[in-house]
Amino acid sequence: MNKQVREVIDNETPHIVCEFGNYELRVYWCGKSGMYGWQCMTVVFKDHSFHGHYKTGGCGFCKTSEAVEQGFRMSGKMPKGYAHGGGTYGIPYKYHIGGNYSKVPVKDLRKWRH
């Protein structure tokens, strides 16, 4: 894990957290990227250990939706009913627990197929 990822995890509050199976996806706002404005960083944990990260870039689309999608893509899993941009940035609302937290039961996980 690089220094920037460690600083974001240690100092920022994720605005989306989704537990699914043995994975946890966290999406953070992580600062400006030149003229493109604020960017999102997705951090994925597997079995409570760092699994990978992804940082958005560019403009003209929903960065949070892209960050959530890349997190699911990294894990190779997605919730049943996942739709890019629908629900809570693609996470169906029925999995929403409260605040910024969602939890998908193992029985509702599917292989990534987009």
Sequence-ordered list of residues with C-beta below 8 angstroms from that of 68, at least 6 positions apart, any chain:
16, 18, 25, 27, 42, 89, 90, 91
How confident is the model at residue 72, as a pLDDT? 92
The boundaries of the domain holding residue 32 are 3-111
Rounded distance between C-alpha atoms, residue 39 and residue 63, angstroms: 7
d(C-alpha 27, C-alpha 89), whole Å:
11
How large is the C-alpha radius of gyration of the chain? 13
Convert the pLDDT of each residue in 45-80 to its tens digit.
999 999 999 998 877 678 888 899 899 999 999 998
In the chain, the number of structural domains is: 1
Residue range 26-38, pLDDT digits in tens? 999 987 666 677 8
Residue 50 is inside which H or E element, if any?
strand 49-55
- Number of other CB atoms surrounding residue 67 within 10 Å: 28
